[in-house]
């Protein structure tokens, strides 16, 4: 599996209480692309995102990563390929130190000793957070937490990086840092956001969701220039 | 009284100790647990008037202290904190047991002797168990439970719970700080507040629990990964056999 | 409230480990059947951490100078059903035993029985039907109160039968029950309050999957058994400690009448057959070389030697 593409076919997911979160979603993302998933809250972005590493399994339709379908049996390989950074940072920093959090993932692959240290340091370096290595995650700022979360995920070297609302809880400077970090990554990137400016800085392709469906899939610039699209996606800053 | 802060520090300290490279840390967790359990059983089985055997078994404890990461001062501190209950009960021994024992020509109430040995037993059993745990990484402890036939899902639950404890303790510290800063009228206990805090905390936690668990799974968390590093080494078996032999000899000599 | 190893005797410890082990196996197999791994595991983990955190809340007991804390066994049973509650509580006790030496490893079997088995399998079935029907606060309170109090009774029994502490069973029982009276009252109050609040939030996840009526027979049976044991332990007219000493001085001329005495007698005769059991020799024995001065001195020397050996190994390991 050297070139990982993502193929989603007729995906549908319904929550236990009957809400259709995702409906009839078809998407193809090739290796190396940077795609922004846009839409207002409740549009289905998070639900879609969570399918990408099998946190949620499809009720109908399928999700394929590099030809491997996402099923209960393939979760291990999928998760080694797709790294998912969830929205809530606190819930991902469950180990008592930054080092431990970043080391969690490579440890699970079997990396130990000096090599482990190297991997952790490299990952933190890539997100410009090496100085935080011994800190307690509870004492970090929003931006720092986000960086450590990203480091924790890239530490296991996934080919595909998925981020769910990475700009939540971060100040504008922090967002700027995040942009420069992400731009350096060569992974295939899928980022869900309702921050248009951020998305534009990091991605070139945009997928707009509304009420669980994809209503647009194309150049990000097109979205920016269409008031109708912006409004339909609840992204128009109109105050 | 142990506050949330104390407990968090305690757990964190244990994690750090387990990472150090003292001789006891190198031994396989399964061997350590077996030795500890056998030791405890043999220690408990000593007659309550038998000072000699109690002391002899203490020698093994001292040996372990020397090769374990826990400092002697810490051991003493733990003992001081834990002993009240045992002391409370054992204080009464001399009162109720007035049988006579001869030591070095003196006559002592049996109660004093049994109180002494009981305290010794207490020191031995708790110290050995703490030493074993402080010299073993948590993941290794958890996976050695597998060796003792604990069901997989239970072990996973145990590991998840352990991680949650850290998160919760920290949360509680935060909440308590927030509550205190809102004025609690001299720290008096408000039942209504307690109930509300507790229940809100629980509901939040359940919702949060699934998310934390999902992020653990996403980063490859799997029980299979936590086997202790290699099969039991020759040195482990050597340590185990020697320890067991020593303890048995010392107990029954 | 958590038993320590030093106060137990090996047979008592092993017996309760046996009971707890069997119960754990039973609970696991029951739970495994409808286990939704993705939901149940984190839920159990959360519940365990929650109870652990709650147990740190200490409340001072007036006039005794000591304090008690919340246990949570009954609340867990209400929230998770008895099997999950039993396993979760056992996990919490395991963490406490391992990392805080709160209760010894041998005593863990007893602690699991007292704090997990009793609320989940003995008391909960007695009250479940009532609580399901009309969520009676009194029922909830009583369940929690009874769980803790029965636990205290069991602690006294386990300590008493072990025979390490000389305090007579009657006095010990009174002491335990007295201390735990107020604690149990508070346990009940907190359980009621928490349960009511949590129910109000009505979580989407169906926490307690146990529907239908639970037959209370086992619960009634166990409680009766416990009460019977307590009464018989009380029954002898002399305090047990004294009786036992009398019995030993007489050299087994008269049979003990109390339960403790009979238990010791049984074990004493078993000891003749199985050398590994605790040594039930008497204080007045002539063979009391367990207290000879030379022996004691020798033991101290061994301690010093063992410590030195360990120290040498540690230094050698550093290089």
User: Does residue C197 sit at the B interface (CB-CB below 8 Å)?
Assistant: yes
Tell if the CB–CB gap between B222 and A95 is shorter than 8 Å: no
**Angle of helix C293-318 relative to helix B51-67, nearest 10 degrees?**
10
Q: What gap in Å lies between CA A115 and CA A119, rounded to an integer?
A: 6
The CA distance from A104 to the nearest CA of chain B, in Å, is 7
User: Does residue A46 sit at the B interface (CB-CB below 8 Å)?
Assistant: no
- The answer to whether the beta carbons of residues C283 and B110 sit under 8 Å apart is yes
Residue among A95, A96, A108 whose CB faces B225 most closely:
A108
Residue C117 has pLDDT above 90, yes or no: yes
- More confident call, B54 vs A51: A51
Q: What gap in Å lies between CA B251 and CA B58, rounded to an integer?
A: 11
User: Does residue C295 sit at the B interface (CB-CB below 8 Å)?
Assistant: yes
Q: Nearest-CA residue of chain C relative to B89?
A: C165
Q: What is the mean pLDDT of residues A72-79?
A: 88
Q: What is the mean pLDDT of residues A223-232?
A: 83
Question: What pLDDT was estimated at residue C256?
Answer: 46
Q: Where on the phi/psi map is residue A19: left (φ > 0), alpha (ψ -120 to 50), or beta?
A: beta
- More confident call, C302 vs A103: A103
With beta carbons under 8 A apart, name residues in chain B contacting A108.
219-222, 225
Question: What pLDDT was estimated at residue A34?
Answer: 94
Percentage of residues of chain B with pLDDT beyond 70: 85
Q: What gap in Å lies between CA C29 and CA B229, rounded to an integer?
A: 30
- Chain A contact probe: residue of B143, B166, B218, B221 with most A CBs at under 10 A: B218
**B250 CB contacts (<8 Å, ≥6 apart)?**
B53, B56, B57, B59, B60, C302
Q: Nearest-CA residue of chain B relative to C305?
A: B59
Residue A89 has pLDDT above 60, yes or no: yes
Return mean pLDDT, chain B: 79
Residue B156 has pLDDT above 90, yes or no: no
What are the start-end ranges of the H helices in chain C? 10-33, 37-54, 73-80, 82-100, 108-112, 124-134, 137-162, 169-201, 217-235, 240-249, 259-273, 293-318
Q: Nearest-CA residue of chain B relative to C202?
A: B203
Among C50, C51, C121, residue whose Cα is nearest residue C81? C121
The CA distance from B232 to the nearest CA of chain C, in Å, is 19
- Chain B contact probe: residue of A98, A138, A163, A165 with most B CBs at under 10 A: A138
Measured CB to CB, residues of chain B less than 8 Å from chain A are: 12, 15, 163-164, 166-167, 170, 208, 211-212, 214-222, 225, 229
Q: Among the listed ranges B67-81, B201-215, C166-180, C268-282, which one has the minimum average pLDDT value?
A: C268-282
* Tens digits of residue pLDDT in C242-272: 444 444 444 444 444 454 555 555 655 555 5
User: Does residue C138 sit at the B interface (CB-CB below 8 Å)?
Assistant: no
**B137 CB contacts (<8 Å, ≥6 apart)?**
B15, B18, B19
With beta carbons under 8 A apart, name residues in chain C contacting B201.
50, 53
Question: What pLDDT was estimated at residue C278?
Answer: 43
Confidence at B186, pLDDT banded by 50, 70, 90: very low
Measured in whole angstroms, how far is the alpha carbon of residue C288 from the centre of its chain? 33
* Tens digits of residue pLDDT in A104-154: 999 888 888 899 999 999 999 999 999 999 888 878 888 899 999 999 999
Residue C234 has pLDDT above 70, yes or no: no
With beta carbons under 8 A apart, name residues in chain C contacting B95.
166
When mean pLDDT is compared over A209-213, B202-206, C223-227, the highest value belongs to A209-213
Q: What is the mean pLDDT of residues C111-140?
A: 87
Question: What pLDDT was estimated at residue A27?
Answer: 92
CATH architecture of C5-214: Orthogonal Bundle (1.10)
* Tens digits of residue pLDDT in B124-145: 888 899 999 998 888 888 888 8
* Tens digits of residue pLDDT in C154-187: 888 888 777 777 677 777 788 788 878 888 888 8
Q: What gap in Å lies between CA C250 and CA B3, rounded to an integer?
A: 52
Residue B67 has pLDDT above 90, yes or no: no
The domain spans of chain C are 5-214, 241-318
From residue B19, give the alpha-carbon distance in Å to each of A70, B25, B134, C57, C87: 37, 8, 9, 30, 29
Helix (H) or strand (E) holding C117: none
Tell if the CB–CB gap between C193 and B191 is shorter than 8 Å: yes
Residue C286: phi, psi to the nearest 5?
A: -75, -25
Q: What is the mean pLDDT of residues A148-171?
A: 92
Residue among C49, C87, C194 whose CB faces B199 most closely:
C194
With beta carbons under 8 A apart, name residues in chain A contacting B167.
90, 94
Question: What pLDDT was estimated at residue C212?
Answer: 58
* Tens digits of residue pLDDT in B89-126: 777 777 777 777 766 667 777 778 888 888 888 888 88
* Tens digits of residue pLDDT in C9-25: 888 888 899 999 999 99
User: Does residue A55 sit at the B interface (CB-CB below 8 Å)?
Assistant: yes
Q: Nearest-CA residue of chain B relative to A56?
A: B214
Residue among B163, B170, B222 whose CB faces A138 most closely:
B170
Question: What pLDDT was estimated at residue C66?
Answer: 54
With beta carbons under 8 A apart, name residues in chain A contacting B19.
none
The CA distance from A230 to the nearest CA of chain B, in Å, is 31
The CA distance from B221 to the nearest CA of chain A, in Å, is 6
- The answer to whether the beta carbons of residues A153 and A105 sit under 8 Å apart is yes
Tell me which residues of chain A, numbers 177 to 236, contact chain B at a CB-CB cutoff of 8 Å.
none
Residue B222 has pLDDT above 90, yes or no: no
Query: How many beta-carbon pairs under 8 angstroms link B with C?
Result: 318
User: Does residue A116 sit at the B interface (CB-CB below 8 Å)?
Assistant: no
Tell if the CB–CB gap between C197 and B201 is shorter than 8 Å: no
Question: What pLDDT was estimated at residue C240?
Answer: 44
DSSP class of C312: H
With beta carbons under 8 A apart, name residues in chain B contacting C200.
199
Residue A2 has pLDDT above 70, yes or no: no
Query: How many beta-carbon pairs under 8 angstroms link A with B?
Result: 59
User: Does residue A112 sit at the B interface (CB-CB below 8 Å)?
Assistant: yes
The CA distance from B64 to the nearest CA of chain C, in Å, is 7
Tell me which residues of chain A, numbers 59 to 78, contact chain B at a CB-CB cutoff of 8 Å.
75-76
Residue A35 has pLDDT above 90, yes or no: yes
- Chain B contact probe: residue of C1, C2, C6, C308 with most B CBs at under 10 A: C6
Question: What pLDDT was estimated at residue C243?
Answer: 44
Q: What is the mean pLDDT of residues C295-300?
A: 76
With beta carbons under 8 A apart, name residues in chain B contacting C101.
78, 82, 126, 129-130
Residue among B211, B217, B221 whose CB faces A91 most closely:
B211
Query: At A22, is the secondary structure helix, strand, or coil?
Result: strand
Q: Is C294 exposed, middle or buried (0-12, 13-18, 19+ CB in 10 A)?
A: exposed
Q: Nearest-CA residue of chain B relative to A53?
A: B218
Among C248, C104, C90, C227, residue whose Cα is nearest residue C157? C227
Chains with ≥3 CB–CB distances under 8 Å to B: A, C
Tell if the CB–CB gap between B125 and C6 is shorter than 8 Å: yes
CA gyration radius, chain B: 23
Return mean pLDDT, chain C: 74
């Amino acid at each position: 599996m050297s070139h990982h593409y993502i193929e989603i076919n007729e995906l549908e997911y319904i929550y236990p209480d009957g809400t259709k979160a995702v409906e009839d979603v078809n998407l193809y993302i090739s290796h190396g692309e940077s795609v922004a998933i846009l839409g207002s809250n409740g549009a289905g972005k998070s639900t879609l995102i969570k399918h990408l590493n099998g946190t949620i399994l499809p009720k109908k339709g399928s999700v394929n990563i590099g030809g491997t379908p996402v099923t209960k049996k393939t979760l291990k390989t999928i998760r080694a390929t797709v790294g998912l950074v969830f929205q809530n940072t606190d819930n991902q920093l469950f180990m008592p130190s930054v080092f431990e959090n970043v080391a969690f993932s490579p440890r699970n692959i079997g990396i130990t000793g000096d090599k482990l240290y190297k991997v952790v340091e490299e990952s933190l370096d890539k997100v410009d957070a090496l100085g935080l290595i011994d800190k307690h995650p509870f004492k970090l700022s929003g931006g720092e937490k986000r960086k450590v979360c990203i480091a924790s995920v890239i530490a296991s070297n996934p080919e595909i990086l998925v981020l769910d609302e990475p700009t939540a809880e971060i100040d504008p400077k922090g967002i700027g840092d995040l942009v420069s970090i992400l731009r350096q990554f060569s992974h295939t990137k899928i980022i869900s956001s309702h921050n248009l400016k951020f998305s534009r800085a990091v991605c070139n392709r945009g997928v707009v969701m509304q009420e669980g469906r994809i209503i647009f899939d194309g150049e990000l610039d097109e979205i920016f220039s269409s008031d109708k699209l912006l409004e339909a996606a609840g992204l128009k800053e109109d105050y | 009284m142990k506050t949330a802060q104390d407990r968090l520090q305690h757990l964190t300290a244990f994690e750090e100790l387990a990472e150090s490279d003292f001789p006891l840390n190198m031994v396989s967790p399964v061997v350590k647990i077996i030795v500890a359990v056998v030791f405890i059983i043999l220690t408990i089985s000593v007659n309550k008037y038998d000072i000699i055997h109690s002391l002899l078994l203490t020698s093994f404890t001292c040996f372990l202290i020397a090769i374990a990461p826990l400092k002697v001062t810490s051991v003493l501190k733990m003992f001081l904190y834990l002993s009240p209950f045992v002391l409370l009960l054992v204080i009464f021994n001399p009162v109720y047991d007035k049988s006579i024992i001869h030591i070095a020509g003196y006559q002592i109430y049996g109660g004093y002797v049994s109180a002494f040995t009981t305290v010794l037993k207490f020191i031995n059993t708790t110290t050995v168990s703490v030493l074993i745990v402080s010299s073993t990484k948590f993941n290794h402890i958890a996976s050695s439970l597998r060796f003792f036939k604990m069901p997989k899902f239970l072990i996973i639950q145990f590991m998840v719970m352990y991680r949650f404890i850290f998160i919760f303790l920290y949360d509680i510290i935060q909440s308590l700080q927030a509550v205190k800063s809102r004025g609690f009228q001299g720290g008096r206990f408000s039942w209504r507040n307690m109930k509300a805090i507790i229940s809100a905390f629980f509901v939040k936690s359940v919702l949060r629990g699934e998310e934390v668990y999902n992020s653990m799974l996403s980063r490859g968390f799997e029980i299979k990964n936590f086997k202790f590093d290699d099969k039991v080494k020759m040195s482990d078996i050597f340590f185990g056999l020697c320890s067991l032999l020593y303890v048995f000899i010392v107990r029954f000599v | 409230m958590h038993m320590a190893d030093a106060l137990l005797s090996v047979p008592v410890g092993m017996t309760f480990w046996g009971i707890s082990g069997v119960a754990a196996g039973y609970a696991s197999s029951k739970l495994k059947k409808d286990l939704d791994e993705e939901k149940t595991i984190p839920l159990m983990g959360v519940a365990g951490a929650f109870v652990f955190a709650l147990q740190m809340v200490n409340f001072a007991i007036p006039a005794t100078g000591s304090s008690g804390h919340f246990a949570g066994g009954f609340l867990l049973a209400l929230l998770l059903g008895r099997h999950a509650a039993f396993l979760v509580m056992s996990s919490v006790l395991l963490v406490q035993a391992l990392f805080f030496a709160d209760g010894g490893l041998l005593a863990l079997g007893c602690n699991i029985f007292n704090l997990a088995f009793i609320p989940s399998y003995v008391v909960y079935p007695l009250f479940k039907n009532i609580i399901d029907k009309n969520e009676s606060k009194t029922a909830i309170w009583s369940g929690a109160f009874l769980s803790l109090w029965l636990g205290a009774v069991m602690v006294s029994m386990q300590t008493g039968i072990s025979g390490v502490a000389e305090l007579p069973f009657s006095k010990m029982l009174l002491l335990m029950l007295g201390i735990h009276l107020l604690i149990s009252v508070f346990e009940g109050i907190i359980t009621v309050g928490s349960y009511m609040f949590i129910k109000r939030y009505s979580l989407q996840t169906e926490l307690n999957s146990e529907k239908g009526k639970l037959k209370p027979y086992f619960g009634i049976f166990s409680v009766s058994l416990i009460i019977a044991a307590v009464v018989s332990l009380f029954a002898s007219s002399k305090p047990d400690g004294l009786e036992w000493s009398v019995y030993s001085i007489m050299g087994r001329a008269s049979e003990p009448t109390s339960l403790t005495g009979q238990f010791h007698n049984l074990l004493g005769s078993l000891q003749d057959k199985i050398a590994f059991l605790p040594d039930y020799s008497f204080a007045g024995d002539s063979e009391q070389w367990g207290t000879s001065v030379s022996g004691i001195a020798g033991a101290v020397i061994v301690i010093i030697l063992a410590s030195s050996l360990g120290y040498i190994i540690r230094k050698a390991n550093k290089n």
